[in-house]
Structure 1
Amino acid sequence: MNHLEARAGHPGAGHPGAANPEVSVIIPVYNEEEGLAALFARLYPALDALGTSYEVILINDGSRDRSAAMLADQFHVRPDTTRVVLLNGNYGQHMAILAGFAQSRGDIVITLDADLQNPPEEIGKLIEKMRDGYDYVGSIRKQRQDSLWRRKASQMMNRLRERITRIKMTDQGCMLRAYSRRIIDTINVCGEVNTFIPALAYTFAQNPTEIEVAHEERFAGESKYSLYSLIRLNFDLVTGFSVVPLQWLSFIGVILSLGSAALFVLLLVRRFIVGAEVQGVFTLFAITFFLLGVIIFALGLLGEYVGRIYQQVRARPRYLIQAVLEQHDGMPAVPGMNRSGAAQ
């Protein structure tokens, strides 16, 4: 019995919007008002064509534009298949997805970005793979529509991350992925403050696989990931899933200590043979500054790990939910909202 068969025959398996649908599609949204209408126009027909029960969970991650109001409008259009989670602030893409995981009910959970770079029509490919018995389906973007520097930087970081974390994912930046219910339930009880969902899910997967998916240009707006955000995300991934950087740091420390001892012996011998000399002062300064740089880097790396521990032991909520728009007993349940999406 595979992970799909384990819940076969559960209530609501026959139509969209059922209590326990087969598929949950989770979409984090942050300032995407320009592209939401196009997303809805493609997403729902693509899911309807699959002929299975599903729910769409839209998470507003503290948008400052009209995204929250547009999500509420879409809920009124398709309350049978749509649930909207309104967070009270901007917690980041991965925290928003975790909020969606906590609300999801499907046997198969799909994550999808709202920018339409990954076509919703590709969801069916992931579902078919999951039905084949896989518990985690990653995706590889073919013919990426990003800038050259971003593609090359992504390839380099993918290789570096794989060597450090031992997590083998060809395209770690693509969020169009499918997860089994077991993996989602495991992630929900983890409680990690900082995490990278695809990598975390991969560590829990028993039978993962990857498929190629189409990739399109962003429909509207700009990427919400700045260069600093991308660096920060990759740093979180490395320090969150591996202690290899600390091991490398220890190894470098041993090498530098041996090198320093050898240099000290060499200078001591020269002093006895040649006598006191002032030559080589600039070389010593260069070595000193190099060692200072290594020490500062080491302190920063140690501080990163200590900071993660500090954030974890504070045990603060990863996110706060302002409201959830969902249908109860065939009737939409909606808290009072103004057009900006704020609860009243």
Structure 2
Amino acid sequence: MKPNSENKFPLYLSVVIPVFNEQENLETLYSRLKPTLENLKTSYEIIFIDDGSMDKSWIIMEEIKKNDNSVKTFQFNRNYGQHTAILAGFELSKGEVIVTIDADLQNPPEEIPKLLKEIENGHDVVGGWRKNRKDPFFRKFISQMGNKVLARITGIKLKDYGCMLRAYKREVVERICEVNEFSSFFIPALAYTYSNNLIEIVVDHNQRQEGKSKYNLLKLAKLNFDILTSFSLIPIQLITLLGVFIALFGGLFGLILILVKIFFNTSNGILSLISIFSVFTGILTFFLGLIGEYIGRIYLEVRRRPRYIITNSKE
């Protein structure tokens, strides 16, 4: 491992861990992470970001900090979301290399040396790929479909968007931190945008042993929709094309009804008209909602409120 004395950074490695209601896993995570980092024989820090936990996570983190000066803990005033917590960790970190890992132990901390090896091989971003995921079938299916759609529409081609076991060189992290947007913080996608030499490697993935996943299907759908609207204009461009198609179809259908009335003296079919009108109304309502999503993001940017607020910290 590269000795810290050769670096221009205070530390070689920063490990950023976003935490939200993970009281069952924190002590086990730390007990496995600490020897893994010690075996690297380099300087490091462990940064816990408490993302507004409502259980005893913060108390446990404080206890860990009391016995280990390499640990730093920060507490948000409320829940801002996983990626905002990671961003805060980026901004607070001092290492030349920054590793992110979830607190749920589904990604083993023992995999971190594999990521660092690829960093030393010249890659500036190393993403974990959960090739053999230990999640329920339906969740895996939704994630796989979401990955394919996102890759096609956004042009961000990652094998695994959702794995947070990742390593970043400092220069990539600094580029991410310079982003002034409020609503576009999906860290892996931003890293893909700013990386010069990204690689994804297969990492182990375990079933969650304690606690519950913080991403249900609704939150997963929202996350994918956020990525879609944050990194691509294709959805709103499709609205324009579909709007033209609907207008042409409506005009053609109206012409057909007129011709049928003239030549066959047949009723217009009020039920058919109501049915078609309902379908078009539903489509237009969806379009308005999508446009509203983009406008809402503009509104968030204009307000320029703080991305997060730290109320407690132990450094």
- TM-score normalised according to structure 1 size: 0.88
CA distance in 2, matches of 1:116, 1:100: 19
Shift of residue 265, structure 1, vs aligned partner: 1.6
Tell me which residue corresponds to 2:103.
Answer: 114
Is the CA contact (8 Å cut-off) linking 2:139 and 2:217 kept in structure 1?
no
Is the CA contact (8 Å cut-off) linking 2:83 and 2:186 kept in structure 1?
yes
Tell me which residue corresponds to 2:211.
Answer: 221
Q: Secondary structure at the match of 1:59?
A: strand
Corresponding residue to 1:42 among 29, 32, 38? 32
Structure 2 residues not aligned, in runs of 5+: none
Runs (4 or more) in structure 1 with deviation over 3 Å come to none
C-alpha distance after superposition, 1:238-271 (max 9, x if no partner): 0000011011111111111111121122122222
Is the CA contact (8 Å cut-off) linking 2:261 and 2:268 kept in structure 1?
no
CA distance in 1, matches of 2:182, 2:223: 13
Tell me which residue corresponds to 1:282.
Answer: 271
Corresponding residue to 1:98 among 87, 91, 106? 87
Q: Given the alignment of the two structures, is residue 315 of structure 1 paired with residue 312 of structure 2, yes or no? A: no
CA distance in 2, matches of 1:259, 1:88: 52
Tell me which residue corresponds to 1:192.
Answer: 181
Shift of residue 279, structure 1, vs aligned partner: 4.9
CA distance in 1, matches of 2:297, 2:282: 23
CA distance in 1, matches of 2:198, 2:269: 57
Aligned length, in residue pairs: 313
Q: CA RMSD in A?
A: 1.6
Corresponding residue to 1:208 among 198, 201, 212? 198
Tell me which residue corresponds to 1:258.
Answer: 248
CA distance in 2, matches of 1:10, 1:239: 39
Tell me which residue corresponds to 2:227.
Answer: 237
Structure 1 residues not aligned, in runs of 5+: 12-18, 327-344
CA distance in 1, matches of 2:196, 2:123: 8
CA distance in 1, matches of 2:26, 2:314: 17
Once the two structures are aligned, what percentage of the paired residues are identical? 44
Q: Given the alignment of the two structures, is residue 28 of structure 1 paired with residue 18 of structure 2, yes or no? A: yes
Q: Given the alignment of the two structures, is residue 67 of structure 1 paired with residue 64 of structure 2, yes or no? A: no
CA distance in 2, matches of 1:142, 1:78: 34
Corresponding residue to 1:166 among 148, 155, 172? 155
CA distance in 2, matches of 1:169, 1:78: 36
Q: Secondary structure at the match of 1:236?
A: helix
CA distance in 1, matches of 2:241, 2:167: 39
CA distance in 2, matches of 1:259, 1:8: 70
Corresponding residue to 2:118 among 113, 126, 129? 129
Tell me which residue corresponds to 2:144.
Answer: 155
Tell me the amino acid that sits aligned with residue 205 of structure 1. S
Is the CA contact (8 Å cut-off) linking 2:257 and 2:268 kept in structure 1?
no
Corresponding residue to 1:180 among 158, 161, 169? 169
Q: Given the alignment of the two structures, is residue 306 of structure 1 paired with residue 295 of structure 2, yes or no? A: yes
Shift of residue 142, structure 1, vs aligned partner: 2.7
Shift of residue 323, structure 1, vs aligned partner: 2.4
Q: Secondary structure at the match of 1:309?
A: helix
Shift of residue 10, structure 1, vs aligned partner: 3.5
Q: Given the alignment of the two structures, is residue 9 of structure 1 paired with residue 6 of structure 2, yes or no? A: yes
Tell me the amino acid that sits aligned with residue 309 of structure 1. I
CA distance in 2, matches of 1:142, 1:251: 37
Shift of residue 86, structure 1, vs aligned partner: 1.3
CA distance in 2, matches of 1:229, 1:312: 22
177-186 or 297-306: bigger deviation: 177-186
- TM-score normalised according to structure 2 size: 0.96
Tell me the amino acid that sits aligned with residue 105 of structure 1. K
Shift of residue 8, structure 1, vs aligned partner: 6.9
